[in-house]
Amino acid sequence: MRDGGGVVLPDFSSDGQWLAFGHTAIDPDRVDELPVRSSAIRTDGSGTEVTLTADPLDKLAHWASPVGGTGEPMVWVVIVSKRPVGGATTSPQQLWLEAFYPERGTVSPAFHLPGQPPSLQVLHEPLALP
């Protein structure tokens, strides 16, 4: 859709039971310039849409692990965000994680992955190891 928003970057969970996708405000070809929110829906059409992230400083959310684990199944969701960390008022792009529980269709609050070097703020070619 180009007339008022759209859906971008659909991503199936490893078990094929969920589809994550981003919502754009205007034009899906300009997703890097637009605020987006990410959601997930069951692929069989049952249940309701689950919001993965709606913070205005977040970019798209993606599945970061296979569905699994001991006990209740879960999957990690990774988010690139400019949310402030600690007492800072601004932040460069950083990675955040949240746990998604597919049986319940719920998501945990996102948390910042500490120790990220400034080099992760931009994409670059891999550096050769010494």
- Per DSSP bridges, beta strands 6-12 and 94-101 are unpaired
Q: Which residues of the chain have pLDDT under 50?
A: 1-3, 121-125
Residue 41 near residue 130 (C-beta atoms within 8 A): no
Rounded-to-integer distance, Cα 42 and Cα 48, Å: 8
Render pLDDT for 87-121 as a digit per residue (tens, 0 to 9).
777 777 788 899 999 999 999 998 887 777 655 54
Question: Shortest CA distance to 21 belongs to which of 30, 32, 34, 8?
Answer: 8
- In sequence order, what are the residues at sequence separation of 6 or more whose Cβ sits closer than 8 angstroms to the Cβ of residue 116? 94, 95
pTM of the model: 0.75
Rounded-to-integer distance, Cα 31 and Cα 45, Å: 26
Does residue 10 sit in helix, strand or coil?
A: strand
